[in-house]
Structure 1
Amino acid sequence: MNAVFLMLMGLGAMALGYFMYSKFICEKIFQVDPNFRTPAHELQDGVDYVPTNKYILWGHHFTSVAGAAPILGPAIAVIWGWVPAFLWVVFGTIFFAGVHDAGAIWASSRNKARSIGALTGDIVGNRARSIFMIVIFLVLLMVNAVFAVVIANQLINFPSATLPVWGAIVVALIIGQLIYRKVIGLLMVTILGVTALYGMIYLGPMLPFSLPTETMLGLTDRQSWIILLFVYAAIASLLPVWALLQPRDYINGIQLFIGLGLLYGAVLLASPDVVAPAFNREVPAGTPSLIPLLFVTIACGAISGFHGLVASGTTSKQLDKEPDLRFVGYFGAVGEGALALAAIIAVSAGFATLADWQAIYHNFGQGGVAAFTRGGANILEQGLGLDTVMAQTLLTVMVVLFAGTTMDTGLRLQRYIFQEWGSIYRIGWMQKTLPATLLAVGCCLLLAFGAGGDGAGGMLIWPLFGTTNQLLARLTLLVITVMLVKLGRPMWYTLAPLLFLLCMTTLGLLIQLKTFYDNGDWFLFTLDIVILAAAILVILEASSALTKQIKANKVVVPEP
């Protein structure tokens, strides 16, 4: 199989999904209304609620939800073969992720931009809300702590990426002022911003920067980077969205789409063969079964509960017109699917021989970001003639900017969670922005430095991210489904993905539970039981909420 055919089939299917399926979902199922007054206008405050151009908002949503996960998951999952990963990414994007993301924005905007967690109490019940809030907190804790480690490691391994990564923040601050104060048009802002970013990528290899490898103030270079990243993320989460979050996400989104275009262009020109097996029948010893682990190993890029947090936490507060949610939400999911597809191609066709591929994938969990950077750099070198250092810098900056924008949004969302808890339990000081932000940062640092002491403690609970994240996606789909039933609209377009995830996630939790027990990992074993109990409660709450709503509204459930 040539990688060009893989690329054309994947991108072609996702394009059809956007132009046809998303149009049907948004117009016939969600019934978006161009005259609906969105919360961005109704509650406009210039800080969190800001009506935003749909292209800028798409940039925010796309880069916030993408992170490193749509690279990491597919780059690990190809150990079962490229066909299962390819099919799940393509069909997951079209029928799962796009509907989930657009639906979460719709549900939140129709309820004053409240988060999915808060909505659960009204739509499903207080018990479900309690479960949801705990799951949300765990997912955000994992994402923020682990992505800080991923970024720190990339900056250590590729010093040439330091200048463009941190320089992007300065560019975003300038762009934010230019856009907000309407100094020049959006097109000119875009051209200037992208030129500046790529100029710094070009200069990066000439001006590499690393922190001292010896301990500084008792901290290693990785620990120092992690602290610096959280200091930045805390400041970013306190600023108005127009000042840094929106322009950083927008210009990064454009730059990252250009990066994807370069990678796909290199695939066309180099026309590499896929050396990875279509179905790997000789998986390394200890590799778990394809079903259900594929569907939790690849979350972002197919469907991810974290997307619902962004969609209802920040995106819905900036939605200018309700029809924009199709472009922002569904097309944002398509962008992430395109990134996941690029990761699959890079790690499947970026190596010279099957033996080279097998040397990387000798154990389950191998591959990941390192395999993407190496394989993608080889394709860029063959197709576009970029030297190895420049190609690796380009891909490293892509990974870090994705992860960094996710951290920006993730910490802001975690602050919202503490503020919502303060509102629910009537704790006045916790409802204030600064204390809630400090609590969010403190929890992340406690996890990072409290487990192992090397700054990588977030990795301790990362094995549970896939199942926990998909549990969160189920809860989001549950809220959307109940809303549709209440409105008397067809529910199978959200209920079918919900039921599929219900089966895969619950089975995945049971398999992981046995693995943790066999390995004597009692911390993860206990945490897995807690999440499994939450999954069972979700099943009960889902059944109860849907049954009650159908009876209350005398809705006849249509055949799927």
Structure 2
Amino acid sequence: MNSLVLAVIGVAMMAAGYFLYSKFLSKRVYKLNAEFKTPSHEFHDGVDFVPTNKYVLWGHHFTSVAGAAPIIGPAVAVIWGWLPAFLWVVFGTVFLAGMHDLGSLWASARNKGQSIGTLSGRYIGARGRNLFLAVIFLLLLMVVAAFAVVISGLLVAQPGAVIPTWGALIVALGVGQAIYRFKMNLAVVSIVGVAALYGLILLGDSYPIELPDPMMGMNPQGFWIVLLFIYAAIASILPVWVLLQPRDYINGIQLFIGLGILYGSVMLATPTVVAPVWNDNVPADTPSIVPLLFVTIACGAISGAHGIIASGTTSKQLDRETDARFIGYFGAVGEGLLAVGAIIATTAGFQSLQEWEGVYESFSSGGVPVFVEGGGAIMNAGLGIPAGLSATILATMAVLFAATTMDTCMRLKRFVIQEIGQLAGVRLGTVVATLLATGLGLALTFSQGGDGSGGLLIWPLFGTTNQLMAALTLVILTIMLMRKGRPFLPVLIPGLFVLVMSTWAAIVQLGTFYANGEWLLLTIDIAIIIAAAWVLVESVVAMAQARKLPREPEDEEALTAEERLPSERR
């Protein structure tokens, strides 16, 4: 199979999804209204609620939701063969992820910018909301801790990525000031910012930075982890326009250019996919493809974390409701394209099937390093980019994706902690909540030693937890649509599919954890299954009631100050 065929089919189907299916969702299901007053205007505070140009906000949303997961998941899942991974990514992006992200953004914007967790209380009750918040908090904790480990590992393995990774912060600060304080032309700022980022990549490739061991009493990876948490904590407190938003925007452009380089290399080199279409010779430790494929690839097909981000930060910056189609659905398309690129890099970036099988010796063999290796080989063959520079470009892409997700999730975790405190009758300030979020993340990350390996301790639960979160979000959206008398089957049917597969996977994992004596993972998995089942029961009851209740008005419904997050109240 020529990898160019995969690239063309993937791009064509996702383009069709955006131009056709997202238009149907926007007009018939969510009924986006350009005249609707969004929360960014209603609660404009210059910190969290900031009306934002849709292209800038797309950059923030795209890079926040993408992270390293759409690279890691496909890079692991191709062990079953390239066809199952490719089909799930393409059809998942078009019919599930785009619909889910657009819907989450719409639902939050229609409800004062509330998070999907808070919103669940309105439609399924207080008990369901509390369990929803618990799942959200656990999911955010997993992402922040694990991505800190992934980023630090890449900075150690690819020292050429150090300068562009940290230099991007300076570029982002300059971009934020140029756009908001000096009102400079967005196109000019974008060109200069991207040029600066690629200049930093060239500089980093020429002057790689390797830390001494030990570094301030820690090994290099541990030092980078601490520095990353400090950065994420500061970024989560600053107004979004100062660092978070411009960083994500300029990274989004740079990362899309990086994808363009990868896809351009595929067009020129047309490498052959050496991995099998369907792998009948999987390593002994490989689990069954059904249902594990559908939780191994989460981001890149559908991801519950997207709903948290869309309703947690993106909705508070939405300028016009109609922008949600471009930001939400096209943001999912961008991630789908990254996932397809990861599939191509990890299946066509090798010279032979034997070489590929030598890398995929076990189920856990795939990941970001394989993406960097395979993608670098394709870029070298297609555009003649030196292997070292190719690796630096792809490693920087992966790091910047993961870092933007990490800082956004740290801000969201602060929101959730504040809300949990509110439910407990304790009002937590921004600084206190941020310190709690940072402290819990560091405690988990270093719980197994100074190398930060504890950050991956509960990561095996990410796939199932993330997909259960997506399914439950779609259930909430279904209830909202039913209450408004809107078409709901385009949301309900995918939601039921994801719910069945993620619950099935969680049950399968129970047996694995029990057999391996992994009691912590077993206990958490049981708790997640119980919480999801409880929320589902509450949701079924709410669906039954929705058919009997009067239709909700098309405009936003009033919410009391007590219903809002502490950070959302003025």
Which bracket does the TM-score occupy, shorter chain normalised? over 0.9
Per-residue deviation, 1:443:
0.6
RMSD: 1.1
Question: Is the aligned partner of 1:52 residue 2:52?
Answer: yes
**How far apart are 1:539 and its partner, in Å?**
2.5
- SS of aligned partner of 2:271: coil
Q: Secondary structure at the match of 1:112?
A: coil
Aligned to 2:557: none
Cα separation, 2, equivalents of 1:211 and 1:183:
39
The Cα shift of 1:130 comes to 1.0
The residue type equivalent to 1:52 in the other structure is T
Q: Deviations over 1:438-477 (max 9, x none)?
A: 0000010010012344312011100000000111111211
Give the TM-score taking structure 1 as reference length. Answer: 0.97
User: Matched residues in 2 for 1:158 and 1:371: separation?
Assistant: 13
Q: Is the 8 A contact 2:176 2:242 kept in 1?
A: yes
Q: 2:474 aligns with which of 472, 477, 483?
A: 477
- Is the contact between residue 264 and residue 382 of structure 2 (CA under 8 Å) also seen in structure 1? yes
Match of 2:178 in 1: 178
* Equivalent residue letter for 1:50: V
Query: Residue 529 of structure 1 is aligned with which of 510, 526, 531?
Result: 526
Provide, for residues 145-171 of structure 1, a one-character-per-residue CA deviation record: whole Å limited to 9, x for no partner: 000000100000111110111000000
Rounded Cα–Cα distance in structure 1 between residues aligned with 2:413 and 2:207: 35
Alpha-carbon distance in 2 for matches of 1:452, 1:174: 37
Aligned-partner Cα distance in 1 for 2:43–2:269: 51
Asked if 1:127 corresponds to 2:127, the answer is yes
Counterpart of 2:24 in structure 1: which amino acid?
F
The residue that corresponds to 2:568 in the other structure is none
Equivalenced residues, count: 552
> Which position in structure 2 is the counterpart of 1:455?
452
TM-score, with normalisation over the residues of structure 2? Answer: 0.96
Deviates most, 453-462 or 101-110:
453-462
SS of structure 2 residue aligned to 1:551: coil
C-alpha distance in 2, partners of 1:94/1:372?
23
Change (3 A) 1:554 1:179: closer
Matched, 1:239 2:235: no
Partner AA of 2:31 in structure 1:
Q
1:443 aligns with 2:446: no
Alignment correspondent of 1:39: 39
Q: CA deviation at 1:211?
A: 1.5
Aligned-pair distance for 1:424?
2.1
Question: Which residue of structure 2 aligns with residue 558 of structure 1?
Answer: none
In 2, Cα distance between equivalents of 1:465 and 1:409: 17
Q: Distance in 2 between matches of 1:373 and 1:233?
A: 25
Aligned partner of 1:272 in structure 2 is 271
Q: Equivalent pairs: percent with the same residue?
A: 59
Partner of 1:541: 538
Please report how far the alpha carbon of residue 534 of structure 1 lies from its aligned counterpart in structure 2 after TM superposition.
1.5
| Distance of 2:516 and 2:161 partners within structure 1 | 38
| Structure 2 unpaired stretches of 5+ | 553-570
2:559 aligned partner: none
Alignment of 1:276-355 (within 5 A): 276-355=275-354
Displacement of 1:422 in angstroms is: 2.2
Query: Which amino acid is 2:224 matched to?
Result: W
| Amino acid in the other structure paired with 1:466 | G
Residue 258 of structure 1: aligned partner: 257
Equivalence for 2:143: 143
1:552 Cα shift? 2.4
User: Within 5 Å, which residues of 2 pair with 1:458-537?
Assistant: 458-537=455-534
C-alpha deviation, 1:497, in angstroms: 1.1
What is the aligned partner in structure 1 of residue 112 from structure 2? 112
- Asked if the contact 2:104/2:477 (under 8 Å) is kept, the reply is yes
CA contact (8 A) 2:472 2:536 kept: no
Larger mean CA deviation between 450-459 and 370-379 belongs to 450-459
- 1:221 paired residue number: 220
Q: Paired residue for 1:92?
A: 92
Asked if 1:390 corresponds to 2:389, the answer is yes
Which residue is 2:4 aligned to?
4
| 1:250–1:554 Cα change, 3 Å | closer
Unpaired runs of 5+ residues, structure 1, are 556-560
- Give the Cα–Cα distance (whole angstroms) in 1 for the partners of residues 242 and 134 of structure 2: 30
When residues 375 and 295 of structure 1 are mapped into structure 2, their CA distance, relative to the original with a 3 A threshold, is same
* Mapped partners of 1:18, 1:152: distance in 2: 35
> What is the CA–CA distance in structure 2 between the aligned matches of 1:12 and 1:65, rounded to whole Å?
22
Deviations 1:202-240 (A, max 9, x none): 111211112212x23321111110000011111111110
Q: Secondary structure at the match of 2:471?
A: helix
What do residues 52-107 of structure 1 show as CA deviations (whole Å, max 9, x unaligned)? 00000000000000000000000000000000000000000010000000000000
Cα distance, 1:183 vs structure 2 = 4.0
CA displacement at 1:553 relative to structure 2 = 4.1
